[in-house]
A and B are shown apart, each in its own frame.
Chain A
Amino acid sequence: AAGVIQSPRHLIKEKRETATLKCYPIPRHDTVYWYQQGPGQDPQFLISFYEKMQSDKGSIPDRFSAQQFSDYHSELNMSSLELGDSALYFCASSSLAGLAYYEQYFGPGTRLTVT
């Protein structure tokens, strides 16, 4: 079965640079979520989108922005990168259709290293 696709899988950036992470949800899933997982930590919710509109917002820094496009893929844009932004960034998707909308399926993650 198709899964959530994230690109790139690994990204190395320097401080103050910008980064763009991409997420392609499972086909027919209309909701996308972004999580940040620091070393040895649990995933922290950043932001989510449903039908291209922001649906919920967590602890996302003002330096970060995200959007969902008409094909339902999403991009997380990160500017003025800091060393503390080094983490695994996960995208998850779900579908509001049917009863299983609360099941969030995670992608493999993008490992961002800021040097």
Chain B
Amino acid sequence: QKEVEQDPGPLSVPEGAIVSLNCTYSNSAFQYFMWYRQYSRKGPELLMYTYSSGNKEDGRFTAQVDKSSKYISLFIRDSQPSDSATYLCAMRPAAGNKLTFGGGTRVLVKP
């Protein structure tokens, strides 16, 4: 079983809808949590990072972390066709550099 689980999708939503993405993890040592967006054949692009449990908002993006449940979420408000991509959660422990990724969720925002 993978340390980080993420529904592969695809997740199809109409333009303007809220996109809801989530990951669960099993390793309680994970302390830093990130969300990356990856377009086809491109490198992952860092969207959000969080450390503590709670919410963090940046423009149309909101990241949530619930360490007690080992569950993180990313919400995208007012979704646009340009948001169509694969979204990867990633996390790492307090010590060390290694990022462990979820499998990615493919999102399609239809005009």
Contact = CB atoms under 8 A, between A and B. Distances in A.
Q: Is this pair of chains taken from one and the same complex?
A: yes
Contact of A56 (B42, B43, B49, B96): B96
Nearest to B45: A106
Interface stretch (B56-64, B66-74, B97-105): B97-105
Contacts of A33: 97, 99
Given A88-B41, A103-B49, 9 more contacts: A33-B99, A42-B88, A45-B100, A50-B97, A102-B49, A102-B92, A103-B46, A106-B43, A106-B44
Interface of A: 4, 31, 33, 35, 41-45, 48, 50, 55-56, 58, 88, 90, 94, 102-109, 111
A94 B102 CA distance: 20
Given A56-B97, A58-B98, A103-B49, A42 B43 contact: no
B96 A102 contact: no
Given A56-B96, A58-B98, A102-B49, A107 B103 contact: no
B46 A41 contact: no
Contacts of B100: 45
B25 interface: no
A9 B43 CA distance: 11
Interface in B28-58: 32, 34, 36, 41-46, 49
28 contacts: A31-B97, A33-B97, A33-B99, A42-B88, A42-B104, A43-B44, A43-B88, A43-B99, A48-B97, A50-B97, A55-B97, A56-B96, A56-B98, A58-B98, A88-B41, A90-B43, A94-B97, A102-B32, A102-B49, A104-B46, A104-B97, A106-B44, A106-B45, A106-B46, A107-B43, A108-B42, A109-B43, A111-B41
